Chains A and B, each alone.
Chain A
Amino acid sequence: MTDNTEKLSDVDFKRELAALIPHLRAFARSLCGDATLADDLAQDAMLKAWNARASFQAGTNMKAWAFTILRNVFYSEKRRSWRRTPLDPEVAEATLVSNSNPSDTLDLLAMRNALGRLPIDQREALILVGAGGLPYEEAAEICGVAVGTIKSRVSRARKAVVEILESNGAGYSDDSNMRAEDAFNDIMRQADDIAGVG
């Protein structure tokens, strides 16, 4: 796949980067909550990635590379109020109106809300691993921390989400039998399976 030059041509780079835009937007949205700010962040990250294309090595994971850039932009440019923008339930609702199933929409709303209330380091860990389906190793690389740190953040995040969902009851009222803790353990096992861990 990789040839002996380790650089992509600009054409190839642009094509691969363009294909990643949906993921940049999804990651940005989960960090910011606010859709407009998120697209602003994603655009900025995309352009920074383009400008840094000379430092990208062909054959390595461009998604992880681009996520790292997006995350750096997010954390470095505090003035743009990207950080700690609380997830506004009404904004979240507006982003979900296209969903045809009302109870699905409620559930997603509850989940978005729960995620929005997590500390940012836990939120990004859970989003990357649990929602984005990235391996722990990749998430760790993106966040610049040890794999064990990511695992513990994901673990704390999932406990917090369970507590928030259970205390709200929104969208989960018919789940009285559910052991949410078990549920999330299972989710993380699934994530591990996907990631080929353990």
Chain B
Amino acid sequence: MEKNGRNNSVKSDLGSKRRTQRIGEQLRRVYDEVAQEDVPDEFLRLLEEADKARPSSTSDKS
């Protein structure tokens, strides 16, 4: 009986392993879908503007 139980669970482990990977992938892809999008130009533009707007401490090397 213990043997049967073990066999069954091995079998369903195989099935659930695939499902597991699928759910894990989906969870990561919810994040990656956005992370892999092209960054809208506005972000880099804002960053450049902020960089240029800083008080003229051009001599940064200390």
Q: Is B17 an interface residue (CB 8 A)?
A: yes
Q: In the assembled complex, which residues on chain A have CB atoms less than 8 Å from the CB atom of B42?
A: 39, 43
> Is the CB–CB distance between A42 and B43 below 8 Å?
yes
- Per-residue CB contact flags for chain A residues 130-159 toward chain B (1 = under 8 Å, else 0) read 111100000000000000000000000000
> Is the CB–CB distance between A30 and B31 below 8 Å?
yes
Main secondary structure of the interface of A (DSSP, over half): helix
Interface residues of B in 36-54 (CB under 8 A from A): 36-37, 39-40, 42-44, 46-47, 50-51, 54
Q: In the assembled complex, which residues on chain A have CB atoms less than 8 Å from the CB atom of B56?
A: none
Main secondary structure of the interface of B (DSSP, over half): helix
Interface residues of B in 20-62 (CB under 8 A from A): 20, 22-24, 26-37, 39-40, 42-44, 46-47, 50-51, 54, 60-62
Q: In the assembled complex, which residues on chain B have CB atoms less than 8 Å from the CB atom of A10?
A: 51, 54, 60
- A22-B37, A50-B50 known; A183+B28 contact, CB < 8 A: no
B40: nearest chain-A partner, CB-CB: A39
Q: In the assembled complex, which residues on chain B have CB atoms less than 8 Å from the CB atom of A190?
A: 24
> Is the CB–CB distance between A25 and B30 below 8 Å?
no
- Looking at A64-72, A74-82, A106-114, the stretch in contact with chain B turns out to be A106-114
Q: Is B15 an interface residue (CB 8 A)?
A: yes
Q: Interface residue count for B (Cβ, 8 Å)?
A: 34
> What class of interface size applies to chain A in its complex with B?
35 or more
- A25-B39, A187-B24 known; A18+B44 contact, CB < 8 A: yes
- Per-residue CB contact flags for chain A residues 84-100 toward chain B (1 = under 8 Å, else 0) read 00000000000110010
- Residue numbers of A with Cβ under 8 A of B are 5, 7, 9-10, 14, 17-18, 21-23, 25-27, 29-30, 38-39, 42-43, 46-47, 50-51, 95-96, 99, 107-108, 111-112, 115, 126-127, 130-133, 165, 175, 177-180, 182-184, 186-187, 190
- Residue numbers of B with Cβ under 8 A of A are 12, 15-17, 19-20, 22-24, 26-37, 39-40, 42-44, 46-47, 50-51, 54, 60-62
Some 14 contacts from A to B, beta carbons below 8 A apart, are A10-B51, A21-B44, A22-B36, A30-B30, A39-B40, A39-B42, A46-B43, A51-B50, A111-B27, A126-B27, A127-B31, A131-B31, A178-B15, A187-B24
